Amino acid sequence: MSAPLRLMAVHAHPDDESSKGAATMARYVSEGVEVLVCTLTGGERGSVLNPKMDRPEIVENIGEVRRLEMERAREILGVQQRFMGFIDSGLPESDEEELPEGCFALQPLEKASAPLVAAVREFRPHVILTYDDDGGYPHPDHIMTNRVSVEAFEAAGDPDRYPDAGEPWQPLKLYYHMGFTKDRFEALHEAMTTRGFGSPYADWISRWEDRPQKWPVTTRVPCGEYFETRDNALLAHATQVDPDGFWFVCPREVQQEIWPTEDYHLARSLVDTTLPEDDLFDGIHCDELTEPLQR
């Protein structure tokens, strides 16, 4: 029997794993893939974004609450999950606002990357998911997450780098999440308008900068049947996700009909693959010895 394929998703805060790539992970879990979410910070400086949860006892214990939310989301998705131990940097209100001392975004790259390199070498993923170099949006922790993910991908297989982080292991593919694209929101906007729902996306689309997409979509993973699992995982992050808010305005059945994939950019690959793809593991298989091989 072949050993299972392994997927690692690297995220900045609890809840990011449920808003980016959750249906993809749920699909692969159902197919026998081992999935590990590495959460780089504890979300300690996150605001309570769901007004129904904005209570003093929650605000005062937000770090512990978010860990419990992460545990529930992990169970819903069926994934493994580890915190990497860094402190949330918070989201500055202006460019002039300084980040708090000791936060994740201010760590030296090697220090910030070491726990992830160790996790890669222990879990031995064939594929890693992360954010693009703009962080998906300009939160300092998301930008730093890209940097440490790229560093771990490139360093984990090198025995001369991070020598105290375990036996070397080289992942084969690195992807960036591409869920927030103009094409996707235009398609959902048109579908909702046509069906008479009204669309929350019109203003957003009108303000979209008219420039080429920096990271084109190379890979669309069909996973519409797991959108309910994704939504349930999102709802587990009750301090961050309002059940009456943005994430749930577009009916699930419309999403499943119009855009039943989660989308990615293939940023690094050590195996041959043909673009566009519909499978993150295209070009990869494992033999009995669990060594990654090219088909």
Structural domains of the chain, with CATH: 6-180+216-294 (3.40.50.10320)
Its pTM surpasses 0.85: yes
Contact, 5 vs 54, CB < 8 A?
no
Round to whole Å and give the CA distance between 233 and 142: 20
pLDDT for 172-203, tens place per residue?
999 999 999 999 999 999 999 999 988 888 88
In this prediction, residue 294 carries a pLDDT of 42
Contact, 144 vs 107, CB < 8 A?
yes
Identify the bridge partners of residue 80 per DSSP, sorted by sequence position.
36
Question: Looking at the chain, which runs of residues are DSSP E strands?
Answer: 6-11, 34-41, 80-86, 127-130, 173-177, 219-222, 261-269, 284-286, 292-294
- Both tokens of 52, joined, read 């129904």
Find the mean pLDDT for residues 40-44. Answer: 97
Contact, 129 vs 6, CB < 8 A?
no
In this prediction, residue 211 carries a pLDDT of 66
Q: Indicate the annotated binding residues.
A: 13, 16, 142
Contact, 293 vs 285, CB < 8 A?
yes
Q: Indicate the annotated binding residues for Zn(2+).
A: 13, 16, 142
Round to whole Å and give the CA distance between 147 and 181: 22
In this prediction, residue 36 carries a pLDDT of 98
| pLDDT at 75 > cutoff 70 | yes
Q: For the stretch 184-197, what's the b/e string if a residue is b when 16 or more beta carbons lie within 10 angstroms of its beta carbon?
A: bbebbbebbeeeee
